[in-house]
Amino acid sequence: MNKPRIAFLGIGLMGHPMALNLLRAGYPLNVWNRTHSKAEALRSDGAIPCKQTHDAVKDADIVISMLENGPVVDAILCSPATLAALKPGALIIDMSSIPPAMAKRHSGMLAERNHGYLDAPVSGGTVGAEQASLSIMVGGSKADFERAGPLFACLGKAATYIGPAGSGQLAKCANQAIVGITIGAVAEALLLAAQGGADPAAVREALLGGFAGSRILELHGQRMIDRSFMPGGTARVQLKDLQTVLDTASAEDLQLPLTEQAFAQYAQLVERGLDNVDHSGLLLQLEALNAPARLNDKPTQRPDGDSITD
């Protein structure tokens, strides 16, 4: 049985390995990216690079978007040219992280055109994308979720049906609140240990065996100790996601003080020009707040290739 043709929009840090996994699973793939060279890089793997979104989607049974934020999704996925070119009955799966209210609006707009829609944001970062071990949180109809099941199985270890449209984005909000707050907690704990004279690497190892153990402590704690902040997920995107969490909470008349504190620290990190460091680079903001305190004496690696040693 022939596999459905997929249009993949957004070949970035996450999109590139996700697209590769679909190609390796035998899906025919059209790919598009604003910087066309990133789409062109997948030609040798069997993808068809497209310079326009309407060319990418016109013969696709399923359209996946993996774009940076809500405004970009609106401008690209929901442009008149893209919408007009969609194949009748196409299923649109937005795997970007956008506000839940926007996902509901997109679902309604596409339903009026007789297209299926799933909001299916992910967690797991570039490592999860490369290893096809992403956690996928899905909102939409159960029938569309089941239709997308084989595809999700090529991208992640677990796709969970959350509920109607917008529910996947609500789950992602919950995820990003936990991630942002926990990164801050790990940075504070390791810096406290180091300043008191303990080896932060040994402290991390000890904590991994107890109640404080977490994927954040395992992965991001190691990045902090290595002072290697090449992005798996950028501080800029983490800040955007925390803003979405707070906006969504405000709409529900909720106050989330821990998320507010994490947001404020990420905002200061971004204001210092460190928007492209990995979100575990929140350690750098904590160190700046407590200067001259420092986790260790290793040089700090950042995305532009420079080392920060002060």
Catalytic residues: 172
Q: How many angstroms separate the CA atoms of 238 and 304, rounded?
A: 19
If phi over 0 gives left and psi between -120 and 50 gives alpha, with beta otherwise, what is residue 151? alpha
Which residue in 248, 256, 260 sits closest to 102, CA to CA? 248
Q: How many angstroms separate the CA atoms of 36 and 224, rounded?
A: 34
Cα–Cα distances (Å) from 69 to 1, 15, 168, 196, in that order, read 35, 14, 15, 41
Query: What is residue 25's DSSP assignment?
Result: T
Asked if residues 224 and 283 have their Cβ atoms less than 8 Å apart, the reply is: yes
If phi over 0 gives left and psi between -120 and 50 gives alpha, with beta otherwise, what is residue 166? left
Q: How many angstroms separate the CA atoms of 228 and 243, rounded?
A: 25
Largest CA distance in the chain: 65
| 40: Cβ contacts below 8 Å, ≥ 6 apart | 49
Q: How many angstroms separate the CA atoms of 222 and 297, rounded?
A: 15
Q: How many angstroms separate the CA atoms of 66 and 106, rounded?
A: 15
List 69's β-bridge partners, or say none.
none
